[in-house]
Amino acid sequence: MAGPSMEELTPRTMREDRIDLSLDASVTVQRAFSSLLVNVSYARCAPEGVILPLILEVQGPSAESYQRREFYRHAPQSLVFTPVEGGPHLVTLREAAHNRWWGRLRLTIEGERLNEPRPL
């Protein structure tokens, strides 16, 4: 007797972009070494909601600007982080398990880079 198929075990909403991240209206300048406030909305995660732990990752132009935090006790309504260099940054908040829902925000930070970009 065959077991259940993958479609029966995995919901269609698996690994979807359902967590909404937005830069707070109070942030006027996106500059290196100044704190940035990011608002989080889980409205599109209904009816199940998100399941902890959640993982926050901030990736900048160089390896030295990588930041990671994990949330085990509650799902944050806002996030604060401080970029350490200028350039393009990607902020990602995702579920570690459950439906593996995620959200991301792309930012361009003013300021100098820690390392000059090198061609591959």
Condensed to tens digits (0 to 9), the pLDDT of residues 107-119 reads 999 999 987 766 7
12-109: CATH class: mainly beta
Distance CA 107, CA 67 (A): 15
| pLDDT tens figures, 98-109 | 889 999 999 999
- pLDDT, tens digit (0-9, with 9 covering 90-100), for 56-98: 999 999 999 999 999 999 999 999 999 999 999 999 999 999 8
pLDDT at 112: 92
Which residues make beta-bridge pairs with 69? 56
CA gap 50, 94 in Å, rounded: 9
Compute the CA torsion angle 44, 41, 74, 90 (nearest 10 deg). 110
The pLDDT value given to residue 8: 66
Interatomic CA distance for residues 82 and 84, integer angstroms: 6
Contact (CB, 8 A) for 75 and 42: yes
